[in-house]
């Protein structure tokens, strides 16, 4: 809607700027009429004076005559459009997220079998993720590194994606998932929910964001490798990819460009119950709850009773407030039964649409 108004405004302002003085009184009179109507509908005034006009205003202030005209035109346009006109038809990013498409990505990943770090299957999963991201317009870079693990040296690879920026825009928000599955010697673990669900969701979010280049340019997507510990989470086991990624940011002193981030993990349980850990950044948690409320999905979101060690931990540690969107109440966690039949497209839809709403209405606004 904003874009439409601005375009309309430009068009009408240009037309009026060419009108000679004889035409002026009518414009002024209609402006007066509209103002009195406007006073009865204050919410419309808020629309007329919202951000998109700010740029134009500063340009127009150098030409006060046109500024006065443009103001009246903007009021006119806002009144003409009214609350129920094209505004209602404007596409809403959160309605474009498809749980079915997200689940289809998960299926493709699960079909590759167990995807532990260093395996051929995880390499294939990276090819898949990378190809999909490129189809959606993203530029992908690989961040390879080697780290010492309880099983010796392992080579890991994070995938980092950015949307080609228009102008000087740099990403200011991180959206993350891990794409590895935990290494097991005794069971066949395909990690449909743990490793698969969040990666499928993030791919679908990448598709949706790709249709909104101005939003996409503000985001960096990260698909971490090596989230899972070989033995137990410690300073040297688990979170390999996020620890490395955070260290790169800290070393390059570029972490400050990110105002925040969301980590998705285990978001596909067909019995969805997202529980934000107590270490969630307070303002972000509040805005996530508000987003869920706005979409009438509030009942799927609550607080967890404790902190969580996950890929958001190294990011929080270097000062990037990052929230772990996780449903840890999953009976098949780290078992051979973490399979796709435990997931639902609807659960992915709930998380994806709330995230998209949060991004467009809060984080990237
Ligand atoms: Zn896990």
- pLDDT by residue (tens digit) across 85-114? 444 567 799 999 999 999 999 999 999 999
Q: Ligand 1 center to residue 319 CA distance, Å?
A: 24
Among 60-74, 154-168, 332-346, the minimum mean pLDDT is found in: 60-74
Whether residues 68 and 137 share a domain: the answer is: no
Q: What is the pLDDT of residue 303?
A: 94
Q: Ligand 1 center to residue 216 CA distance, Å?
A: 28
Most confident of 25-29, 73-77, 303-307, 325-329: 325-329
Whether residues 55 and 176 share a domain: the answer is: no
Q: Ligand 1 center to residue 154 CA distance, Å?
A: 18
- 223 near 179, Cβ under 8 Å? yes
Q: Ligand 1 center to residue 310 CA distance, Å?
A: 9
Q: Ligand 1 center to residue 338 CA distance, Å?
A: 10
Q: Ligand 1 center to residue 304 CA distance, Å?
A: 17
Whether residues 59 and 108 share a domain: the answer is: no
Whether residues 21 and 117 share a domain: the answer is: no
Quickly list DSSP for 267-302: --BSS--EEE-TTS-HHHHHHHHHHHHHTT-GGGEE
DSSP-H helix ranges across the chain: 2-17, 24-40, 42-48, 52-61, 64-81, 86-89, 99-110, 120-135, 198-210, 213-216, 240-252, 282-294, 312-317, 345-358
Q: Which two tokens stand for residue 122?
A: 């995880």
Residue 228, helix vs strand vs coil? coil
Q: Ligand 1 center to residue 327 CA distance, Å?
A: 12
Q: What is the rounded distance in angstroms from the CA atom of residue 238 to the CA atom of residue 295? A: 35
- 348 near 273, Cβ under 8 Å? no
Whether residues 77 and 132 share a domain: the answer is: no
Q: Which two tokens stand for residue 153?
A: 């040296």
More reliable by pLDDT, 323 or 83: 323
CA dist 62 → 50, 56, 57 (Å): 20, 10, 9
Q: Ligand 1 center to residue 265 CA distance, Å?
A: 9
Whether residues 190 and 61 share a domain: the answer is: no
Q: Ligand 1 center to residue 179 CA distance, Å?
A: 10
Q: Ligand 1 center to residue 141 CA distance, Å?
A: 25
DSSP run (H or E) holding 160: strand 152-162
- 28 near 76, Cβ under 8 Å? no
In-domain check, residue 87: no
pLDDT digits (tens, 9 = 90+) for 146-187: 999 999 999 999 999 999 977 777 899 999 999 999 999 999
pLDDT digits (tens, 9 = 90+) for 25-58: 333 333 333 333 333 333 333 333 333 333 333 3
HSE at residue 64, side-chain half, CA atoms within 13 A, is: 0
Q: What is the rounded distance in angstroms from the CA atom of residue 105 to the CA atom of residue 201? A: 8
Q: Ligand 1 center to residue 65 CA distance, Å?
A: 64
Q: Ligand 1 center to residue 188 CA distance, Å?
A: 14
Q: How would you list the strands of the sheet with 152-162, edge to edge?
A: 139-149, 152-162, 219-224, 173-178, 260-265, 322-326
Q: Which residues pair with 225 in a beta bridge?
A: none
Q: Ligand 1 center to residue 122 CA distance, Å?
A: 15
Identify which of 304, 257, 301, 299 has the alpha carbon closest to the alpha carbon of residue 279: 304
Q: Which domain holds residue 317?
A: 93-363
Residues in the chain: 365
Mean per-residue pLDDT of the chain: 82
Q: Ligand 1 center to residue 50 CA distance, Å?
A: 45
Q: Ligand 1 center to residue 193 CA distance, Å?
A: 9
Kindly give, in sequence order, each residue whose CB lies less than 8 Å from that of residue 51, ignoring residues fewer than 6 positions away: 2
Q: Ligand 1 center to residue 334 CA distance, Å?
A: 6
Q: Ligand 1 center to residue 275 CA distance, Å?
A: 16
Beta strands at 139-149 and 152-162: parallel, antiparallel or unpaired? antiparallel
Residues near ligand 1 ion, CB 5 Å cutoff: 194
Write phi, then psi, for 283 (nearest 5 degrees).
-65, -40
In-domain check, residue 88: no
Identify which of 232, 243, 259, 206 has the alpha carbon closest to the alpha carbon of residue 317: 243
Whether residues 7 and 140 share a domain: the answer is: no
Whether residues 194 and 71 share a domain: the answer is: no
How many domains, the chain?
2
Whether residues 124 and 257 share a domain: the answer is: yes
- 322 near 174, Cβ under 8 Å? yes
Asked which of 81, 104, 125 is the last residue of a domain, the reply is 81
Q: What is the rounded distance in angstroms from the CA atom of residue 150 to the CA atom of residue 229? A: 9
Q: Ligand 1 center to residue 147 CA distance, Å?
A: 19
Q: Ligand 1 center to residue 194 CA distance, Å?
A: 5
Asked which of 81, 112, 129 is the last residue of a domain, the reply is 81
Q: Ligand 1 center to residue 57 CA distance, Å?
A: 52
pLDDT digits (tens, 9 = 90+) for 178-214: 999 999 999 999 999 999 999 999 999 999 999 999 9
Q: Ligand 1 center to residue 23 CA distance, Å?
A: 71
- How much is the average pLDDT of 57-86? 39
Whether residues 35 and 154 share a domain: the answer is: no
Asked which of 15, 50, 81 is the last residue of a domain, the reply is 81
């Amino acid at each position: 809607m904003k874009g439409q108004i601005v375009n309309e405004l430009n068009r009408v302002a240009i037309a009026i700027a060419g009108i000679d003085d004889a035409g002026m009184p009518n414009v002024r009179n209609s402006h007066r009429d509209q103002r009195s109507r406007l006073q009865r509908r204050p919410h419309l005034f808020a629309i007329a004076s919202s951000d998109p006009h700010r740029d134009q205003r500063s340009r127009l202030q150098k030409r006060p005559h046109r500024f006065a005209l443009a103001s009246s035109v903007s009021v006119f346009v806002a009144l003409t459009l009214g609350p129920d006109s094209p505004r209602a038809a404007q596409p809403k990013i959160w309605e474009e997220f498809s749980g079915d498409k997200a689940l289809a990505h998960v299926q493709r990943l699960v079909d590759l079998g167990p995807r532990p770090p260093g395996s051929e299957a995880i390499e294939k999963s990276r090819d898949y993720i990378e190809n999909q991201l490129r189809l959606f317009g993203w530029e992908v870079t690989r961040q390879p590194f080697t780290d010492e693990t309880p099983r010796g040296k392992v080579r890991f690879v994070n995938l980092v994606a950015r949307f080609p920026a228009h102008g000087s825009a740099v990403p200011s928000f991180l959206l993350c998932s891990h794409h590895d599955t935990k290494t097991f010697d005794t069971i066949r673990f395909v990690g449909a929910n743990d490793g698969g669900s969040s990666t499928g969701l993030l791919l679908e979010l990448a598709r949706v964001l790709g249709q909104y280049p101005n939003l996409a340019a503000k985001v960096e997507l990260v698909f971490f490798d090596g989230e899972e510990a070989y033995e137990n989470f410690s300073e040297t086991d688990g979170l390999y990819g996020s620890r490395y990624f955070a260290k790169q940011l800290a070393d390059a002193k570029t972490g400050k460009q990110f105002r925040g981030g969301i980590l998705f993990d285990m978001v596909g349980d067909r019995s969805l119950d997202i529980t934000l850990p107590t270490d969630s950044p307070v303002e972000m948690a509040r805005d996530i709850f508000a987003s869920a409320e706005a979409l009438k999905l509030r009942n799927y979101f609550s607080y967890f009773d404790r902190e969580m060690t996950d890929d958001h931990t190294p990011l929080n540690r270097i000062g990037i407030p990052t929230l772990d969107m996780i449903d840890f109440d999953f009976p098949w966690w780290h078992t051979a039964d973490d399979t796709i039949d435990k997931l639902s497209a609807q659960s992915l839809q709930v998380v994806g649409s709330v995230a998209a709403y949060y991004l467009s209405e809060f984080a990237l606004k």
